[in-house]
């Protein structure tokens, strides 16, 4: 844990640099576009409308997914999209990020682990924007919101831990195993189908739910919906194991990254 504590110290010391690099990444993504950063708001709304039409009108998923209409189906999809998009970006981007920023990695004094924090920060800001839209739309549609939404930081803390650890782990492996990027892209497509983005966990046969919720994305989508929509506390039998797993992945990811970092420049 001392290595992780040292990593936290470096992140704090270089917080201004992390902020500037994250800001630059967000600006670079929309540079030259007519609408610029408006796409951060527009793209989720376009996807929301498309998925709502397909799964509500074409497949008729809405009634069961919303527990008989207790919550607007588009909002249920939006909540799943928010968590999944956050997770997906933190899975896909790290595997090629270090190579695309080789000039930083080759600098002897540059703290390479902050590159992982930049990836996380960019994805986290996008997730916060989508989460803000979700809360605004929910209040507009339902004219109220349960106080349990205040528990959301408690849900997302282990989510952030597991994602940061995953970023460090995949970033380090991606330097040496280039195939991992294609593997992860394929995996993300599968994860979207086996995660309750467009449906509810209630629609999964009861005998399979415990196995189904081993998937971290599924677990965090369901816990997010519990506190936002259903006014329920997260299930301790779900929350505690995933929190412990998040702590393990955070430690493992940082440990692997720091131990391999000395070899990064040699293979760039």
In this structure, how many other beta carbons lie within 10 angstroms of the beta carbon of residue 19?
A: 12
Output the pLDDT for position 166. Answer: 94
How much of the chain exceeds pLDDT 70, in percent?
87
- Count of domains observed in the chain: 1
pLDDT at 47 over 80: no
Place of tokens 């500037």: 20
Output the pLDDT for position 239. Answer: 94
Q: Which long-range contacts (CB under 8 A, 24 or more apart) does 197-201 make?
A: 197/77, 197/80, 197/81, 197/84, 197/221, 198/51, 198/55, 198/61, 198/65, 198/77, 198/80, 199/55, 199/61, 199/64, 199/65, 200/64, 200/65, 200/66, 200/67, 200/76, 200/225
pLDDT at 26 over 80: no
Instruction: Tell me what the mean pLDDT of segment 33-41 comes to.
Output: 65
pLDDT at 49 over 80: no
CA–CA gap between residue 142 and residue 229 (Å, rounded): 10
**62 or 21: whose pLDDT is higher?**
21
CA distances, 19 to each of 31, 64, 104, 122, 162 (Å): 18, 43, 16, 9, 21
Query: Considering only CA atoms, which of 167, 139, 128, 165 is closest in space to residue 40?
Result: 128
**36 or 145: whose pLDDT is higher?**
145
CA–CA gap between residue 150 and residue 227 (Å, rounded): 8
CA–CA gap between residue 226 and residue 153 (Å, rounded): 13
**87 or 3: whose pLDDT is higher?**
87
pLDDT at 31 over 70: no
Q: Which residues are CB-contacts of 177 (< 8 A; sequence separation ≥ 6)?
A: none
CA distances, 220 to each of 62, 89, 213 (Å): 20, 15, 9
Instruction: Tell me what the mean pLDDT of segment 183-189 comes to.
Output: 87
What is the number of helices (H) and of strands (E) in the chain?
A: 14, 0
pLDDT tens digits along 85-121: 999 999 998 888 888 777 777 776 778 889 899 999 9
3-state helix, strand, coil in the chain (%, to 5): 80, 0, 20
CA–CA gap between residue 142 and residue 69 (Å, rounded): 11
pLDDT at 165 over 60: yes
Contact 250, 161 (CB under 8 A): yes
**206 or 2: whose pLDDT is higher?**
206
- Mean pLDDT over each residue of the chain, to the nearest integer: 83
Tell me, what DSSP letter sits at residue 235? P
Confidence of residue 221 (pLDDT cuts 50, 70, 90): very high
pLDDT at 234 over 60: yes
**87 or 134: whose pLDDT is higher?**
87
Instruction: Tell me what the mean pLDDT of segment 74-85 comes to.
Output: 87
Instruction: Tell me what the mean pLDDT of segment 17-29 comes to.
Output: 84
In this structure, how many other beta carbons lie within 10 angstroms of the beta carbon of residue 97?
A: 20
Confidence of residue 242 (pLDDT cuts 50, 70, 90): very high
**20 or 53: whose pLDDT is higher?**
20
Output the pLDDT for position 65. Answer: 56
**159 or 112: whose pLDDT is higher?**
159
pLDDT at 66 over 70: no
Q: Measured in whole angstroms, how far is the alpha carbon of residue 28 from the centre of its chain?
A: 20
What residue numbers bound the domain in which 225 lies?
2-267
Output the pLDDT for position 63. Answer: 55
Instruction: Tell me what the mean pLDDT of segment 19-41 comes to.
Output: 73
**111 or 153: whose pLDDT is higher?**
153
């Amino acid at each position: 844990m001392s290595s992780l504590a040292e990593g936290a110290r470096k992140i704090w010391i270089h917080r201004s640099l992390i902020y500037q690099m994250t800001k630059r990444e967000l600006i670079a993504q929309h540079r030259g576009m007519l609408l610029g950063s408006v796409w951060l708001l527009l793209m989720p709304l376009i996807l929301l409308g498309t998925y709502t039409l397909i799964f509500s009108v074409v497949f008729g998923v809405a009634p069961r997914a919303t527990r008989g209409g207790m919550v607007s189906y588009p909002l249920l999809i939006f909540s799943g999209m928010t968590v999944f998009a956050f997770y997906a970006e933190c899975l896909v981007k790290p595997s090629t990020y270090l190579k695309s920023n080789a000039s930083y990695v080759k600098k002897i004094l540059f703290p390479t682990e902050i590159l992982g924090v930049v990836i996380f920060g960019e994805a986290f800001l996008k997730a916060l924007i989508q989460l803000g839209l979700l809360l605004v739309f929910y209040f507009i549609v339902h004219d109220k919101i349960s106080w349990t939404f205040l528990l959301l930081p408690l849900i997302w803390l282990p989510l952030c831990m597991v994602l940061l650890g995953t970023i460090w782990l995949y970033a380090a492996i991606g330097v040496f195993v280039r195939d991992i990027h294609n593997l992860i892209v394929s995996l993300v497509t599968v994860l979207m189908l086996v995660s309750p983005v467009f449906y509810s966990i209630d629609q999964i046969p009861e005998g399979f739910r415990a196995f189904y919720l081993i998937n971290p994305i599924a677990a965090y989508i369901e816990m997010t919906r519990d506190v936002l929509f259903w006014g329920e506390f997260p299930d301790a039998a779900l929350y505690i194991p995933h929190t412990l797993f998040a702590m393990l992945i955070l430690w493992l990811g940082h440990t692997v990254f720091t131990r391999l970092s000395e070899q990064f420049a040699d293979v760039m």
